Amino acid sequence: MYFYALYFSLVNKKIFLYLVLLVWGVTLTHATHLIGGEMYYDCLGNNQYKITLKIYRDCGPSNTQGTGYDQNAVVGIYNAFGVLVKTVNLPFPGANQLPMNLTNPCLVAPPNICVEEAIYTGITDLPPLTGGYDLVYQRCCRNPTILNIVTPASYGNTYWAHVPDPGMAVCNSSPRFKNFPPIAICTNDLLNFDHSATDPDGDVLIYEFCRPYHGGSSGNPAPNPPSPPPFNNIIWIGGFNDNYQITSNPAFAINASTGNLVGMATQQGQYVMGVKVKEFRNGNLLSENVRDFQFNVALCDPAIISSISSQTIFCDGLTVSFQNSSQGSSFYFWNFGDPNSTADTSNLTNPTYTYSDTGTYTVMLVANPGWSCADTSYQTFDVRYKLKPSFIPPNPQCLNGNSFDFFAGGLYDTIAAEFLWDFGINATPPSSTDENPQNVSFDVVGFFPVTLTVSQDGCTLSYTDTVKVYPHPVPEFDFPGGLACQPFTVNLVNQSQAWTNMQYLWDFGDGNTSTEPNPIHTYWDSGTYSVTLIVTTSYGCIDTVTITKPNIFHVFPRPVSSFTVQPEEQSIFQPFFNTYNFSKLHTACTWLFGDETLIESCDNQFHEYADSGYYPISLITINEFGCTDTLTRIVRVHPEFVFFIPNAFTPDGDWKNEFYLPKMMGVKEYEFYIFDRWGKVLFNTTEQAEGWNGKANNGSPMPVGVYVYLAKIKDVFGKNHEYIGHVTLIR
C-alpha cells in the first residue's frame, strides 16, 4: 500500500505543517494548496497592537503550480457593526521549511514531503472603540483530497481575531496555540495530544471542536478587503459533524479545560479539523481563536525487516560487537541468548555484549518492539577465545654473519595453537613450524616480510612484520688537488655510505682529529701526511670500519718575503724611496710600487713618485716548489702648495711663451681671470693647465699693453688664497 500524508499544525512561536499526499492504488495528480493557519494579537500599550498571522502551504514538487504566499497579506479591521475601519498590509517575511518528526515508528513518510511556514507580523493603532474590533484575513484554496467536507477545493480559509470592548478588557492579548500534532497518525493507533493554548494575560481558556470558516474563492482567492463577520462555514459531508470530524473509534474528544485531544482514527484519508479556544475574564467572553488543520490518517504497515548481520570475525574473544542491518525500523530489542546471565539484553541499535563463556549462541533482534509493525530475526554466533598473533621483529643486523631469533607473541592458546613461520626465499630456513624458531639467516641485504600464522580452534590468523638486513658501512672520502703550500687548508669531502646514521673520526696525520662529517683542516707545517677515516654505526648494522689514504698531502714550505723602506714618508719636493730586500728561501722576486711600476728583481730598489699620495710597496717571492709569499708596506708622499705666475708673455706665433698661465702645485680648487683696464673679463678658466692666448672672448687679438689677472685658489690643506697682479702682453 502506497500513501502520501498531508498534515500541518500550529504552535506559539512556530506552527508546523507537514504534507503527505495519500494515494490508494494510484498517485494523485492534484496540486495541494494552503494547508491552514491562525491569527492572534498582542497589546503593546498606547493603543498599539501587534498582529501575527501564520500561514502554511505545501512546498512539495506536486505543488509547483499551487497557491503561493501573498506578498502583502491584507488584514481587514471592522467595528462592531461590520463597517471597515481600515486595512493593514502585512509584508511577506519569507518562508521557512519545517522539520518532520514522526512519533509512530510504524509510519514511513514519503521522501518528498515539504511544508513551509510564513509568519506575517505588523503593528497598527487601535484606539478604544465601543464593541471592539474584528481582525479578518481570508485566502483560498484548500486541498481537494479532503474527505470530510463537501467539494473541498472550492473552500478557502478565514482567520479571525476579536479585540474586545474596552469596557470588558483594556489592552487585551489573545490566546495562541502552543503545540503541534504528529505529522501523521496511524489507523487503529490511539492519539493522545496536548492541543492547549497560552494566553499572555493569564485569562481562563476553554476548548471545543468547531466548524472551520470558509473564505475566498477560486475567482477571488485573496479578497481585498476580506469580508466582515459573520463568516460562512464549511459544509460537512454526510456522517461528519462538529463533534465527529474524523472516522474514529473511540471518537476524537477534546478536554474543555486542558485542551488534551484523544481519539483513534479507523479509516485512512485526509480530514480537516477545527478547534476553538475561548478566552474568559471574570466570566465574560473576551475573544476566541479558531484554527483548522488537516489530520492525515495512514495505514501504518511499512515493510519493517529485522536483520542481524552474519558473523565475520571469529576467535576474537568473549566480547562480540553486533551489526544491525534492519530496514525501516526505529527501535530495537536484543536478546543475546546467554543462559548464564539475566542482563543479556539491549535496546541499542548496534550493541556490544561480553559472554560468560565460549560457545554457540542464538541471538534475537526485535525491530520496533511493542508496535504493530514489529519484526523478529535470529542469528547464530560462535564465541571463541581471542586469537591475535604477533611478534616483535628482532633488531636489524649486518649481512655478514647475520642470525635472527624469533618469538611468537600476541593472544593464543599455547597448547592448542599451531604455528607456521614464512621467512621468504632469501632465508635459511625459509619456513618453520616452531613456536620460537632460532638461527634464521638471510643471504642478501634488504627488508624482508616475515609472516606468522597461528591456527587454533578452527580459526587461522596471520601477522606480518619486517626483518631488516643492512650492509656494512663503507668509509670513503675525497679531497681537492693542487699545490699544497704551508699553511695548507683543505676541505675533506665525506663519501661514506651506510643504511643508518654514521659517526666519524678523522685523523689528519699531524696529531689533530675531528668528528665533523666534512671537516676543514689546516696543515701549518710542511711535510707529508696520511689521513685516516673511521666510520661507526650504532644501530642497524652495528659496525666500525676504517680507511687510510697514506701520504695524500705533500705540504711544501713557503719563502719568506721581507724588506724595509727608507724613508716611509717624503715631501712631493723629494719623492724618493729606497727598498732593502731581506727575504729568505726564494728563487725569484717581483716588486710592485703601487703606481703601475713592476720590477722583477731581488735587488734593492730606488723609486721616485710623480704625485703625492699613499702607495703600497709589495714584494712577492717564489721558491723552487712554486710556493709564494707576499709582504706589503705603505709609504706616503706629502703634498705641498706652490703658486708662481710670470709678469709678461709674448703670444706672437713663434710657439714660445704663447700662453699666459700660473705654475702651481697642491691646488684643490682653482679660478683664473684676465681683465682689461676697464675691468672687462677677457678670459676665465677653472682648468689648471689652461692659459690665456692673448685674445678677447670673441677671438680678436688684444693689443700690446698691461692687463690685470686674478687667481682664486683653495689648496690641498683647505686654505684659501687670492692673487692679483699685472701682466704685460708683448708681441
The model's pLDDT over 592-617, given as tens digits with 9 standing for 90+, comes to 999 999 999 999 999 999 989 999 99
What is the average per-residue pLDDT within 150-155? 91
User: What is the structure's pLDDT at 722?
Assistant: 95
pLDDT at position 111 is 65
Radius of gyration over every alpha carbon of the chain, rounded to an integer in angstroms: 58
The rounded distance, in Å, linking the Cα atoms of 428 and 432 is 10
Using the predicted structure, report yes or no on whether residue 6 has a pLDDT greater than 80.
no
Mean residue pLDDT across the chain:
90
Q: In 3D, which of 320, 330, 302 has the Cα closest to residue 379?
A: 320
The strand ranges marked E within 626-704 are: 628-638, 642-644, 648-649, 663-665, 667-675, 681-685
Helix/strand/coil (H, E, C) string of 362-399? EEEEEECCCCCCCEEEEEEEEECCCCEEEECCCCCEEC
Reported as half-sphere exposure (CB side, CA atoms, 13 A), residue 666 has a value of 18
- pLDDT higher than 70, residue 12: no
pLDDT in tens, 486-544: 999 999 999 999 999 999 999 999 999 999 999 999 999 999 999 999 999 998 999 99
Poorest-pLDDT segment among 286-300, 333-347, 446-460: 286-300
pLDDT score recorded for residue 496: 95
How large a percentage of the chain has pLDDT more than 70? 93
Q: In angstroms, rounded to a whole number, what is the distance separating the alpha carbons of residues 676 and 663? A: 22
Residue 544: what pLDDT? 94
pLDDT of residue 576: 96
Quick: pLDDT tens for 23-76. Answer: 332 233 333 478 889 999 999 999 999 999 999 887 866 655 555 789 999 999
CA proximity to 601, closest of 582, 586, 588: 588
Helix, strand, coil abundance in the chain, percent, nearest 5: 0, 50, 50
pLDDT per position as a tens digit, 430-470: 999 999 999 999 999 999 999 999 998 788 999 999 999 99
Question: How far apart are the C-alpha atoms of 329 and 373, rounded to whole Å?
Answer: 9
pLDDT band for position 654 (cuts 50, 70, 90) = confident
Question: What is the per-residue pLDDT across 655-688, written as a single tens digit (0 to 9) for each?
Answer: 889 999 999 999 999 999 999 989 999 999 999 9
Q: Residue 65 has what pLDDT? A: 53
Q: Output the pLDDT for position 93.
A: 95
pTM attached to this predicted model: 0.48
Q: Which of 129-133, 217-221, 658-662 has the lowest mean pLDDT?
A: 217-221
All domains in the chain, ordered by first residue:
7-298 (no CATH), 319-383 (2.60.40.10), 388-470 (2.60.40.10), 477-553 (2.60.40.10), 563-638 (2.60.40.10), 642-729 (2.60.40)
Report the phi/psi class of residue 415: left, alpha or beta, with left for phi > 0 and alpha for psi in -120 to 50.
alpha
The H or E element spanning position 432 is strand 431-432
3-state secondary structure of 63: helix
The widest CA-to-CA distance across the chain, in whole angstroms, is: 154
Examine the pLDDT at 92 and tell me if it is beyond 50. Answer: yes
Provide the pLDDT for residue 655: 87
At residue 118, does pLDDT exceed 80? Answer: yes
Instruction: Specify the pLDDT at position 193.
Output: 93
pLDDT at residue number 414: 84
Return the higher-pLDDT residue of 316 and 362: 362
Phi, psi of 663 (to 5 degrees): -105, 130
Contact residues for 269 (Cβ-Cβ < 8 A; gap 6+): 22, 147, 247, 296, 297
pLDDT score, position 14: 28
Lowest mean pLDDT among 480-489, 531-540, 706-715: 480-489
SS3 720: strand
Q: Which pLDDT value is given to residue 15?
A: 28
**Segment (H or E) for 527:** strand 527-537
Q: Model confidence at 373, in pLDDT bands (50, 70, 90)?
A: confident
What residue has cell string 485526509? 270
Name the most confidently modeled range: 1-15, 384-398, 435-449: 435-449
- Is the pLDDT at 306 greater than 90, yes or no? yes
- 703, with CB counted inside 10 A (0-12, 13-18, 19+), is exposed
Enter the DSSP assignment of 472.
Answer: P
Other beta carbons within 10 angstroms of residue 522's beta carbon come to 12
Q: With contact defined as beta carbons under 8 Å apart, do 729 and 704 qualify? A: yes
